[in-house]
Structure 1
Amino acid sequence: MHLMKGWRVLCVVLGLGLIALCACGSESACGPSAGVVSRVVDGDTLVLQSGERVRYLLVDTPESTGGKLECFGTEARDFNRSLVEGRLVQLEYGEACTDRYGRLLAYVTVDGQEVNSLLAEGGYACVLYVSPAGKSRRSEFEALESSARRAMRGMWGRCSPVSCAR
């Protein structure tokens, strides 16, 4: 009887521990794993309702803010806005949590679609790799950009020169 009581206590303690672990699943070591987008800053940056600024990993869109409007900057911003503004997004972090401006660096997913990849694939963005952030997926994004260039999608067919191309 005494042994059974000990097992019950152990099961309750383990069960409470699992519940606590699941409740903490909304945060990663870098920041939130999800959030609602309060506003889109430009083609590659957003602000969550919680106040965090998120910069998309591995992509760089033409500028559309700060008095600097580059070719296809408005289109990139509007495309990003159409996908995420006011929506719940999931965030997945890479090898670095933040950039030098304190923005979270993440792959952003909405409705099962990764926005970073869509930007590169659609010709809205160039690849921007700043070591170590994005190292594990760099070649994947370079292939998406190359495909968009060859197909003359987005800015690759409309802008000369492309402002973010290096």
Structure 2
Amino acid sequence: MKKGFILIVISLLFGCSEIPSNGVAKTSGTTDQIPVELVEVIDGDTIKVKYNGNIEKIRYLLVDTPETNHQTLGKQPYGEEAKVRNKELLNSGDVTIEFDVGNRFDDYDRMLAYIYVDGVSVQETLLEEGLARVAYVFPPNTRYLDMFENASEFAKDAQIGVWETNNYVTSRGFNASIMEDSNELVTESPGKCEIKGNINRQGKKIYHIRGGKYYEQTNPEEWFCSEQEAQNAGYKKSGE
């Protein structure tokens, strides 16, 4: 009787994590956010933090951003933008991480986690701003898959960031060659006209003004010298 009671207590105390026979750490269904100290931003989806007194490399769960310095892929379009935005977000508040219920480490010994700044999901923000794609979906680490896919669809419909050029985003990553071959987009402003006009996949005409949330990520199909000119051409302001 005493032995059974002790086993129950131990189970309650240590049931939040386990080390299976293969040595891969797993976690339970807790959604607790654990404070960590940011050490380094490696790229758009990988960072180093101080966790439990150790320096750990963390790979963001369920997202993938273009490479910045890959040994074979090199530097991909929007890789640097994703890294810069990631760093900007992480430096704007308190960083916390959350584990899912599956493996806590990948094959490269990188910790797998959801990342937050002041409680706001960094992954969701990168997806919504068109700087990442949903990828590396390995159940049961899929807690926020639906939320992330919705954020990605928003960017895809708006044709911002990695979604601006058709077929740049693929099921296997990012195809940089399509960016080099594409002649669909006008990238330089004619004279002093700085308002960017973009047509999304649904045919909706949207214009972006300098300082707007998606201005820097948008490669325009048309340029306008005033908002009135854009409106006369049938465009609506981004965010409306």
TM-score of Structure 1 vs Structure 2, range by shorter chain: 0.7 to 0.9
Identical pairs, percent:
34
Do structure 1's residue 95 and structure 2's residue 96 form an aligned pair? no
| Matched length | 141
Distance 1:71 1:165 in 2: 9
Contact 1:71 1:159 in 2 (8 A): no
Structure showing greater Rg: 2
2:148 pairs, out of 135, 141, 152, with 141
Please state which structure has a larger fraction of its residues in helix. 1
Alpha-carbon shift at residue 64 of structure 1 (Å): 0.6
Whether the 8 Å contact between 2:66 and 2:174 is mirrored in structure 1 is no
Greater CA drift, 72-81 or 89-98? 89-98
Instruction: Give the C-alpha shift of residue 146 in structure 1.
Output: 1.3
TM-score normalised to structure 2 length: 0.52
Corresponding residue for residue 79 of structure 2: 73
The structural deviation recorded for 1:158 is: 5.4
Read off the aligned partner of 1:64 and give its amino acid letter.
T
SS at match of 2:96: strand
Structure 2 unaligned segments of length 5 or more: list them: 1-12, 18-24, 28-32, 176-240
Deviates most, 127-136 or 38-47: 127-136
Q: Give the residue type in structure 2 aligned to 1:141.
A: F
Q: Which residue of the partner structure matches residue 52 of structure 1?
A: 56
Contact 1:71–1:162 (CA<8 Å) still a contact in 2?
A: no
Runs of 4+ in structure 1 over 4 Å off: none
- Show the counterpart of 1:39: 40
1:61 aligned partner, one-letter code: T
**Cα–Cα, structure 1 residues 104 and 58, in superposed 2: closer, same or farther, change >3 Å?**
same
Cα deviation for residue 148 of structure 1 reads 0.7
Counterpart for residue 236 of structure 2: none
Shift of 1:160: 5.6
Structure 1 residue 52 displacement after superposition? 0.4
Superposition RMSD in Å = 2.8
Q: 1:147 to 1:51 in 2, by over 3 A?
A: same
Aligned-partner residue type, residue 59 of structure 1 = V
Q: Note the residue ranges of structure 1 that are not aligned, 5 or more in a row.
A: 1-20, 22-27
> Normalising by the residue count of structure 1, what TM-score does the alignment of the two structures yield?
0.73
Contact 1:39 1:85 in 2 (8 A): no
Question: With CA pairs under 8 Å and 6+ residues apart, which has the higher RCO, 1 or 2?
Answer: 1
Residue 65 of structure 1 and its aligned partner are, at CA, apart by: 2.1
Q: Which residue of 2 aligns with 1:111?
A: 118
